[in-house]
Chain A
Amino acid sequence: KNQVEQSPQSLIILEGKNCTLQCNYTVSPFSNLRWYKQDTGRGPVSLTIMTFSENTKSNGRYTATLDADTKQSSLHITASQLSDSASYICVVTYASGGSYIPTFGRGTSLIVHP
């Protein structure tokens, strides 16, 4: 069964600190992995995308890693800001009958305190 598991479920950090969010998946055949940021009451916004051959991708203070062998990914946030408070969702896409189907994790809820 195609599944995406994220940890921790929630995280509270102080402004300026770094943090790392984890994503494990069993999705197959793998096509790509995205990290999304979802503010409360809003739709998700893509942060990074990685294909099978990529093992790291940065977008400003966000750095995603991918280990396709162990089927694990992480999202590292550097020098956190209050605006980073949001849900971070890992999405793994697999190929099926010529289409590409995204499988969403439940997300990690991040709260950044001043």
Chain B
Amino acid sequence: DAGVTQSPTHLIKTRGQQVTLRCSPKSGHDTVSWYQQALGQGPQFIFQYYEEEERQRGNFPDRFSGHQFPNYSSELNVNALLLGDSALYLCASSIIRGQPRLNEQFFGPGTRLTVL
């Protein structure tokens, strides 16, 4: 089991561009959550996808959008990039069935996005 994988590992973009980050969940997991982690800060929840729909959303603008595919993998899209979007973007997968109250999230290694 490869665990949660993310691609690319690093990315450099310029202001105003658009970016797509990808995530493959741990085998058997059906839920994917995305987080933004600025340097020296804790992860901030962006949104969660389950059954190909956005189920929960944090306090992020509409420039941040996502998608979940039938194989449970997910994409995070960010439009009109700002300098402040530079961060480590983490993907976490989990199983929403069973015991969601104790739902453990397994994190990927993240994608480091730099906006110049």
Q: Is the CB of A49 within 8 A of B102?
A: yes
Count residues on chain A whose CB falls below 8 Å from chain B CBs: 25
Segment with Cβ contacts to A, from B39-47, B61-69, B74-82: B39-47
When A31-B101, A42-B110, A43-B109 are in contact, do A99 and B56 touch as well, CB less than 8 Å? yes
B109 contacts A49, C-beta separation under 8 Å = no
Shortest C-beta distance, A12 to chain B (Å), equals 16
Cβ–Cβ < 8 Å partners of A4 in chain B: 42
Chain B residues, Cβ within 8 Å of A44: 43, 90, 107
Do B42 and A107 have beta carbons less than 8 Å apart?
A: yes
Q: Nearest residue in A to B110 (C-beta to C-beta)?
A: A43
- Taking the nearest CB of chain B, how far is it from the CB of A30, in angstroms? 11
Whether A57 sits at the interface, judged by CB under 8 Å, is: no
- Residues of B near A60 (CB, < 8 A) are none
Contact call A104/B56, Cβ cutoff below 8 A: no
Nearest Cβ in chain A — how far from B50, in angstroms? 9
Residue positions of B touching A, CB distance < 8 A: 4, 35, 40-45, 48, 55-56, 88, 90, 92, 100-110, 112
**The 9 nearest A-B residue pairs measured at CB:** A43-B107, A104-B42, A106-B42, A104-B43, A44-B107, A43-B108, A99-B56, A105-B42, A43-B109
